[in-house]
Amino acid sequence: MVQLRVMTDDKQRGEEVLAVLLPLLNACTALQASEPTKLSHRGGGLRVVLDVQLAGAPTVTVERADELTGTRTRSGPPATRRPRARRALPPAR
């Protein structure tokens, strides 16, 4: 697990940093961030922890459009392919 921590003795400064950081994290599609957890700080400062992880790969859905284009698909076993003849490599120099 990856954690981001915002820790400072100046609570106001920490809140200002969080006000900029959280929208950036939420806008990033490559990362998923948990809700910030505020921890106690003895001196009255600020201590916030966020769990961050990579977002999963985007899901891509592909729909067949055969019916819309009027093309037909072949049903049954796949056609057998004949191996192609390869050209010979040129002689070595």
pLDDT band, very low/low/confident/very high, at 56 (cuts 50, 70, 90): confident
**3-class DSSP string for the chain:** CEEEEEEECCHHHHHHHHHHHHHHHHHCCCEEECCCEECCCCCCCEEEEEEEEECCCCCCCCCCCHHHHCCCCCCCCCCCCCCCCCCCCCCCC
- The pLDDT of residue 39 is above 70: yes
In this prediction, residue 36 carries a pLDDT of 92
Residue at 78 is within a domain: no
Is 9 domain-assigned?
yes
* 45, part of any domain: yes
Residue 35 lies in domain: 2-54
Please check whether residue 81 lies inside any domain of the structure. Answer: no
Does the pLDDT value for residue 58 go beyond 60?
A: no
pLDDT at 90: 73
Q: Which residues pair with 67 in a beta bridge?
A: none
Is residue 67 situated within a structural domain? no
Q: Cα Rg for the chain, rounded, in angstroms?
A: 29
Q: Per-residue pLDDT for 84 more than 90?
A: no
